[in-house]
Amino acid sequence: LDEIRPMFGVGLRAPALRTQQALCLLTPRVLSTYPSPTTAAQRVVCVIAPRNSPALAQVPHGLADFVIGESLDELLPRAAQAEAVLFIPPASPVLLEELWRGRHLPACRWVHCFFAGVDSVQPFALQHLLPAGLPLTNGRGAFSSSLAEYAFTAALHFNKQVARWLTNREGRVWDKFVMGELRGKTLGLLGMGDIAQACAALGKAFGMHVICLRRNASKQASVPNVDMVLGPYTGPIQPAHKRALLEQSDVVISTLPGTAETHHFMSFAEFDAMRADATFISIGRGSAVNEAALSRALLTGRLGGAALDVFEVEPLPPDSPLWSCGERLLLTAHNADYTDNYFKLGWSVWAVNFDRHVHGGPLATPVDIIAGY
């Protein structure tokens, strides 16, 4: 914020500028203030990415000397000069492992994952970066706004009974039913990262009561737009913590990362604890949801509706029972945040971190390697 405040006025206060807003403002003006091409040319960045990745069409070549490849043959000639690595999924983490084990990245001081989810590179980070004291950053914050919009599109879809509108139109039925509203309802958030905070802000805009479940409830004072924080002060989240949120929530949004701790965080007992007319939305990682349990809840009418953008296996297998859940389920192909400016925003997050790296400042989006997010 100190870096960009002069560009937007001295009255700018840190709490008023959220991550998403800052990233949008940073592009393209602030990018032009980064190291000059002459300086940048001395800084080599190793980019591990499939050659057909759309992200490569927007590489900010003026910022660094990018060595791009998806194989050892492509990267080895320059890898030893790289002071940073950028990993762009769905690149293979095996290649990253091979480069490190072969000691082909002796100058590397920082690794960045283009996406917010780092589950694919966490094993590598635990084994190599953590012992060496090297940082891992991710793309969090770049896509939070679009994911929050997606979540509330789904919440409104079920709350307003949009499927009923379409059926009535097709059947030429004049059906003056009671219309639902989100105002006064309870929004339950699983997790309280950047995406959940964007959802909380929208929830408040709709006049909802917002509660969240997080691993450390003592952080309550640091959570904006949340009326109540649930969870342990020490130790793991217990079933009672989950029930406390699920039993009172009309809309539940999971933004949980993919870690061992969150695997099947939502399963049979959890869906049974939800209200029969509640809506469940998953926009974090698919591994946090037991899809068999969710399918049962939807097919038996135990749950009002659900929207999923992430799955345990992607693409979703044709024999998944989720395909048979009918109007109670909305499905998208992990593209809720795949907007027109998706890659532009992703590069903006990387560029902010790169600038901090160049000037020795604290990185903007550091990952807790042990926690996995």
Which one of the listed residues 285, 291, 356, 357 is annotated catalytic?
Answer: 285
Of 32, 91, 25, 30, the residue nearest 56 (C-alpha): 91
Residue pair 357/363 in contact (Cβ under 8 Å)? The answer is yes
DSSP secondary structure letter of residue 311: -
136-137 and 186-190 beta bridge pairing: unpaired
Q: How many CA atoms does the CB half-sphere of 193 hold within 13 Å?
A: 27
How crowded is residue 181: how many other Cβ atoms within 10 Å of its Cβ?
12
Catalytic annotation present for 285: yes
Which one of the listed residues 101, 169, 314, 359 is annotated catalytic?
Answer: 314
Sheet holding 82-87, edge to edge: 65-69, 44-48, 82-87, 111-113, 136-137
Cα dihedral value 129, 135, 138, 144, nearest 10: 130
E-assigned strand segments in the chain:
44-48, 65-69, 82-87, 111-113, 136-137, 186-190, 209-213, 228-230, 251-254, 279-282, 305-308, 329-331
Residue pair 126/369 in contact (Cβ under 8 Å)? The answer is yes
Which one of the listed residues 109, 241, 328, 334 is annotated catalytic?
Answer: 334
Side chain identity at 225, as an amino acid letter?
A: N
Burial classification of residue 342, based on how many CB atoms lie within 10 Å of its CB (0-12 exposed, 13-18 middle, 19 or more buried): middle
CB pairs under 8 A, 24+ apart, for 234-240? 236/261, 237/213, 239/269
Burial classification of residue 211, based on how many CB atoms lie within 10 Å of its CB (0-12 exposed, 13-18 middle, 19 or more buried): buried
Catalytic annotation present for 334: yes
Which residues are catalytic, by number? 285, 314, 334
